[in-house]
Amino acid sequence: MANVEEVLFGVLDAAGECGPGELPSGLGRLDERLAAAAGKDLAAALSLVLSALGRAAPHGAPDGYRGTGADTLFGHVGFTCAYYGPAPEIMTRQMRRAMERAAEKGRRLRKNGAFPRTGGAEDAFPLKKALGLLDGMTPALAGRLQRAAVTAGSFAEGAGLLALLSGVRMSESTFRRRALAAGRRALEAQESPAAWIPEPLLPAWLLAATAPVTPTLYITLDGTGVPCVKKDVRGVKGKGKDGKARTREVKVGVAGTFRRLDKKGRPVRDPGCESHIVSPKTASRFGSLLRRLALSRGLGSGRFRIQVVGDGADWVANIVGKAFPGADIVFTCDFYHACEHLRAFLGLALPQKDARKAFVTARAVLRSHGGASLLKHLRKRFESLPADHPAWDELGYFEKRKDNMRYGEYRKQGLFIGSGVVEAACRTDVARRCKQSGMHWRFHNAAAICALTARFRSHLPAA
């Protein structure tokens, strides 16, 4: 611990030079100086340990020992380890020719190449493979970098945050490259989610304040736009009056469980038991992703009743019909989106002052009795309205979705009536990082960062 001793002896020497009753200056940063010194000492110790481990030859005699390194929580650490080179004798002819052409041009075929190696080694440096390096970083450092990337407002800010909290400095471009690479891996990992059906240990205060209900697996989905550069929105149809798109849509899905209800009969989600996904894929392919996520969380296991919640968009209903078929699936159209259409109907049918009062009554009918009863109520009350009045167009929303608006029944069964879970996810997984003032993303980069954010919201390790 030579560097730590140097700092401590330096402080003692400075104290000895002070007068009676005086203290040396700079004590407020003593802990920071000690942390930096300890990091240097630990980096040196780690280098020695890894060099010793690197002498192991798990695949027989190596082709030599080479110096290499890795980025760690103590900074870049260099070490020496066994190296296994390419084995031309077991390569295909195409591989040999590719290597020969690469050698003629003075470059390697592939970094740490994916081709047969001496002794059947899977990697040029077995020790580095054993360390589980991600983009040249240990998993511990990769986790901190990725967390900083999704928490900070920009890549430059993320690099600064990593340096401040971990003492590891890297350029903005390196930070960005590693964060986006992790995001691409997170997108790939969504294709095959690991099974996870936790039994949460609920705290005593929560058990005392809630009542048990049938264990329920809820699945919610929605879409939200990400501001993109002109190159990525060219030719894409938008929602504006001019028909031009200024954003590209990513789709957000959340799966989780609840087993308790609060005193008002509302579901209380199991703490830390939600899984998030964000994908740039089309609705049909996103439906497959969401179904695989639900299967990993217990869909089809018989342990849960199943509820799917979404707004009234046609693509949401199509996903539910194809990815979650069956009479046992409870599909709920979001209550608050329904209220928006109700407000729009009343705003067209009545003067503003009367519409406000009528909305309170109609909303109570919808909440207590559902969409079918609301349609009867509105048609009876507004029977004098001309048949060609534009207000009637808004009722088409309720007519199409009335079977999924039985809110009174849902509340009695202790189910959700709103999609607040996924609405919040759209903000935490997408808007918080990608929709700040002045931001315009390449679509594939935005999707990668959003997928990385969703991974952390799902309590998964670094990608």
How confident is the model at residue 384, as a pLDDT? 86
* Residue pLDDT, tens place only, 291-321: 999 999 999 999 999 999 999 889 999 999 9
104 and 237 in a single domain? The answer is no
Residue 121's CB is within 10 A of a number of other CB atoms, namely 22
Domain that holds residue 83: 56-133
Residue 433: strand, helix, or coil: helix
71 and 218 in a single domain? The answer is no
237 and 328 in a single domain? The answer is yes
How many alpha carbons fall within 13 Å on the CB side of residue 202?
17
* Residue pLDDT, tens place only, 378-437: 999 998 888 888 889 889 899 999 999 999 999 999 999 999 999 999 999 999 999 999
β-pair partners for 67: 80
Per-residue exposure over 71-98, b if at least 16 CB sit within 10 Å of its own CB, e if not? bbbbbebebbbbbbebeeeebeeebeeb
Residue 49: strand, helix, or coil: helix
Q: Is residue 436 part of a domain?
A: yes
Q: Is residue 147 part of a domain?
A: yes
Q: Is residue 138 part of a domain?
A: no
325 and 348 in a single domain? The answer is no
Q: Is residue 197 part of a domain?
A: no
Q: Is residue 463 part of a domain?
A: no
300 and 235 in a single domain? The answer is yes
Question: Which of 380, 404, 428 corresponds to the end of one domain?
Answer: 404
DSSP 8-state assignment for residue 152: S
Q: Is residue 259 part of a domain?
A: yes
CA distances from 35 to 4, 142, 170 (A): 8, 20, 18
Question: Which of 89, 110, 133 corresponds to the end of one domain?
Answer: 133
241 and 211 in a single domain? The answer is yes
Q: How many domains does the chain have?
A: 5
378 and 307 in a single domain? The answer is no
46 and 77 in a single domain? The answer is no
125 and 158 in a single domain? The answer is no
Long-range contacts of 126-129, Cβ-Cβ distance < 8 Å, separation of 24 or more: 126/56, 126/58, 126/59, 126/81, 126/82, 126/84, 127/50, 127/53, 127/54, 127/56, 127/79, 127/81, 127/82, 128/68, 128/70, 128/81
DSSP 8-state assignment for residue 60: B
Question: Which of 53, 68, 95 corresponds to the end of one domain?
Answer: 53
Low-confidence ranges of the chain (pLDDT < 50): 112
44 and 81 in a single domain? The answer is no
Q: Is residue 236 part of a domain?
A: yes
First to last CA, the chain: 34
Q: Is residue 409 part of a domain?
A: no
3-state per-residue secondary structure call for 106-143: CCCCCCCCCCCEHHHCCCCCHHHHHCCCECCECHHHHH
67 and 94 in a single domain? The answer is yes
* Cβ atoms of 112 and 122 closer than 8 Å: no
For the entire predicted model, the pTM comes to 0.88
309 and 441 in a single domain? The answer is yes
